[in-house]
Structure 1
């Protein structure tokens, strides 16, 4: 999803809509609608980001234990927290959040990677790593 004709980047809402269309194309309309499955994929990506920055497994486990020992929050508020902390992490890590999101979308929005992602998802489902 490139910048629009005026050179401006798409809004968050436009990006979200584009990603949803991509998900439907990759997984089918029924294949990507389970919020728990999407949350597990988000968790996987968040852990991969933390790992890429140098966070160790023990730290992830400690945070997981802490979070799971507390009452569940409200999804909308937690999304806000995710966005704020991701923006702060990107700022302090010299990562342009918008550029990273748009360039990753362009990378995965190819026939070859769509097929690869679809295959990975089936393997994860068979291994019990996603909702079935």
Structure 2
């Protein structure tokens, strides 16, 4: 049995009650390896991308996304543990409002991306991307990379400095 088949078999035969997060980790390591799996910037990029795709699928207007980015990044940073809780609560509430089953959606997607042919496609897509970019193209250089942010992690401009 090759490593991909072994990985899938192991992942599908998890113990009942194992957390979703712990079931995602073997897939993450298999697709990306430890370095990319642990890269918080890359993981944040992917999280935001998926959240925006969900909102877009529910006909949420792009103008609201742009307005919320400005609103959030002009406020003090939150505490990660509390923010994870907020993400989970608001995702559950959104799924309730939209008539979606959050757990079934997660389980179905994890089963889909564990398929060996999908793992291979994800690896190929990752290999084709520029290093450090969640996009298939290099991220634009804004001149506001890490040192161009204020204490609230908002971008600084000549007007805000």
Q: Same fold by TM (over 0.5)?
A: yes
Q: 1:125 aligned to 125, 130, 144, which one?
A: 130
**Cα distance 1:35–1:95, how it changes in 2: closer, same or farther (>3 A)?**
same
Residue in 1 that maps onto 2:98:
93
Once the two structures are TM-superposed, the CA of residue 119 in structure 1 deviates from its matched residue by: 2.2
TM-score (norm 1): 0.84
Once the two structures are TM-superposed, the CA of residue 41 in structure 1 deviates from its matched residue by: 0.5
Q: Secondary structure at the match of 2:130?
A: helix
Runs (4+) of structure 1 moved beyond 6 Å? Answer: 1-5
Alpha-carbon displacement from aligned partner over 1:23-75 (angstroms, at most 9, x marks no partner): 00111122211112111100000000010001121111011111011111011
Q: Using the alignment, how far apart are the partners of 2:104 and 2:12 within structure 1?
A: 10
**Cα distance 1:119–1:42, how it changes in 2: closer, same or farther (>3 A)?**
same
Contact 2:27-2:114 within 8 A present in 1 as well: yes
Q: Using the alignment, how far apart are the partners of 1:102 and 1:55 within structure 2?
A: 24
Q: 2:44 aligned to 39, 43, 61, which one?
A: 39
Matches within 5 A, 1:33-112: 33-112=38-117
Residue in 1 that maps onto 2:139:
none
Gaps of 5+ in 2: 1-10, 136-161
Root mean square deviation of aligned Cα: 2.2
Gaps of 5+ in 1: none
TM-score (norm 2): 0.70
Q: Secondary structure at the match of 1:78?
A: helix
**Cα distance 1:87–1:15, how it changes in 2: closer, same or farther (>3 A)?**
same
Contact 1:2-1:102 within 8 A present in 2 as well: no
Q: Using the alignment, how far apart are the partners of 1:90 and 1:21 within structure 2?
A: 26
Q: Secondary structure at the match of 2:19?
A: helix
Per mean C-alpha deviation after superposition, the further-off stretch among 120-129 and 37-46 is 120-129
The number of aligned residues is 125
